């Protein structure tokens, strides 16, 4: 099915100039970019986005980090994009992520793990709704 998912280059990925590399990987894989913006994240949005981690000891650190400098938020579309994007990102802890994945190639810190991607269809819907309005998202057929 043609799915959509929410993908975000975190502050470390932006600062390390990895936006282009990450966009390129998704483009070359064959997925379609339907929305994107570079933005500062409010504390409110960060806390809402990471709501399921509220009770974790690292919650404060997580919110501080994601609000520390801009992120690049995106929506990608394509068959199976939710699960495939997770494979392309690699495991949450970059130290364990396979070489060839984004985290495996570029990270070693579980906090600063470069990229976020929705982990299910439900999360994708929720996160796209938090980060983007319907008007922010495009819908178009590739003709070239
Ligand atoms: P993400 O996929 O964005 O979703 C939750 C985030 O919590 C995760 O990536 C990690 O960056 C972060 N996280 C998980 N474990 C830890 C930890 N022990 N310390 C700091 N951050 C963590």
* 75-109 pLDDT, tens digit each: 999 999 999 999 999 999 999 999 999 999 999 99
Which pair of tokens denotes residue 35? 């929305």
Q: What number does the ligand 1 atom closest to the CA of 116 have?
A: 3
Q: Which of 51, 66, 113, 123 to mutate to test the pocket of ligand 1 (most atoms within 8 A of CB)?
A: 113
| Sequential DSSP letters for the chain | -EEEEEEEE-HHHHHTT-HHHHHHHHHHHT-EEEEEEEE---HHHHHHHTGGGTTSTTHHHHHHHHTSS-EEEEEEEEETHHHHHHHHH--SSTTTSPBTBHHHHH---SSS-SEEE-SSHHHHHHHHHHH--GGG--------
Atom of ligand 1 nearest to the CA of 62: 21
Quote ipTM for the complex: 0.93
What is the model's pTM? 0.97
Q: To the nearest whole percent, how much of the chain has pLDDT over 70? A: 100
Q: Give, for ligand 1, the residue of 110, 114, 118 to mutate: max count of ligand atoms closer than 8 Å to Cβ.
A: 110
Q: Which residues are designated catalytic?
A: 116
Tell me the pLDDT of the chain averaged across its residues. Answer: 97
Nearest residue (CA) to ligand 1, atom 20: 111
69 contacts 15 by C-beta, under 8 angstroms = yes
């Amino acid at each position: 099915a043609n799915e959509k998912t929410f993908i975000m280059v975190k502050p470390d990925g932006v600062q390390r100039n990895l936006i282009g590399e990450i966009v390129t990987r998704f483009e070359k894989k064959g997925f379609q970019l339907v929305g994107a913006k570079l933005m500062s994240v409010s504390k409110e949005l960060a806390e809402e986005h990471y709501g399921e981690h509220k009770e974790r000891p690292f919650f404060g650190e997580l919110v501080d980090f994601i609000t520390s400098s801009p992120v690049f938020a995106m929506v990608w579309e394509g068959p199976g994009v939710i699960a495939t994007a997770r494979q392309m990102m690699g495991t949450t802890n970059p130290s364990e992520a396979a070489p060839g994945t984004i985290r495996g190639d570029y990270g070693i810190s579980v906090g600063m793990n470069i990229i976020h991607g929705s982990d299910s269809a439900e999360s994708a819907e929720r996160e796209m709704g938090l980060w983007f309005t319907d008007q922010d998202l495009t819908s178009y057929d590739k003709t070239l």
